[in-house]
Amino acid sequence: MDIMWYIFDMLGTVAFAISGALVGVAKKMDIFGIIVLALATAIGGGVIRDCLVGHFPPNSLQGMAYVLVVCAVSFIVFFIYRTRYYKQVMGLWSRRSYMMADALGLASFTVTGASVGYAAYPELPVFIVLLGTITAVGGGILRDMLAQQIPSVLKADVYALPSIIGGVAYYLMRHGNWTFEPAYGAFMVVLVIRLLALYFHWSLPKVR
């Protein structure tokens, strides 16, 4: 795996783990519950993807790296909130850093899922896009279901849409005469759309 790609992947894992741990804190769960939500958020989408294509054991469970990182993040979040200094730690700069890491993770996970789908079934574009989206947002859906709340991806800002567009872009680039690597092109598509959505506060239409 390309080192830069691995860094993006790990940044996304950390950001998603933080997201899951924060939901656990908000729901007043104990340390075990916080770790479970963090694991579900960070690696849940990838586990679903691997099960759908018949990869056993799932990639994230073939080694200890991802699980250890998620557990470490969970403990850090837990102890930060136990010290009552979380307002200083979780300030504006930290939130912006988290959102950037989350956007990188969304883009990285989307491309990872789409590339796995293309390698397995290159003739099924819908399946390829679906795998990319599930890899990117599936963990968050699992997190919210475990926390007994409506998945944020179904009601919050533009989040799943960049992943869907990125999956479509990846498939089209693989079948077109592009001069650059489709994975990097799709990655940039997802990243740019997600960052624009954050900056301009985009959201999809709702029934009022």
Could you report the per-residue pLDDT of 41-70, keeping only the tens digit for each? 999 999 999 999 999 899 899 989 999 999
Per-residue pLDDT at 189 exceeds 60 = yes
More confident residue, 178 or 134: 134
Q: Report whether 203 contacts 157 (CB < 8 A).
A: yes
Say if 82 falls within a structural domain.
yes
Residue 91 pLDDT: 61
Phi/psi-derived region of residue 54, left when phi > 0, alpha when psi is between -120 and 50, beta in every other case? left
Say if 208 falls within a structural domain.
no
Q: What is the pLDDT of residues 173-182, one digit of tens each?
A: 998 877 778 8
Say if 14 falls within a structural domain.
yes
Q: Which domain holds residue 175?
A: 3-200
Q: Report whether 80 contacts 86 (CB < 8 A).
A: yes
3-state DSSP helix/strand/coil percent for the chain, to nearest 5?
Answer: 75, 0, 25
Residue 139 — pLDDT band, cuts 50, 70, 90? very high
What does the pLDDT average to over 25-31? 91
**How many structural domains is the chain composed of?**
1
Say if 15 falls within a structural domain.
yes
Of 78-82, 96-100, 144-148, where does mean pLDDT reach its minimum? 96-100
Residue 35 pLDDT: 97
Q: Report whether 140 contacts 157 (CB < 8 A).
A: no
Say if 54 falls within a structural domain.
yes
Residue 130 — pLDDT band, cuts 50, 70, 90? very high
- How many helices and strands (H and E) does the chain possess? 8, 0
Say if 135 falls within a structural domain.
yes
Can you give 30-77 as a three-state secondary structure string? Answer: CHHHHHHHHHHHHHHHHHHHHHHHCCCCCHHHCCCHHHHHHHHHHHHH
Tokens matching residue 120: 């397995």
- Rounded to whole angstroms, the Cα distance separating 154 from 138 reads 12
Nearest Cα neighbor of 38 from 27, 24, 54 is 24
More confident residue, 176 or 2: 176
Q: How many residues does the chain have?
A: 208
Say if 206 falls within a structural domain.
no
Residue 127 pLDDT: 97
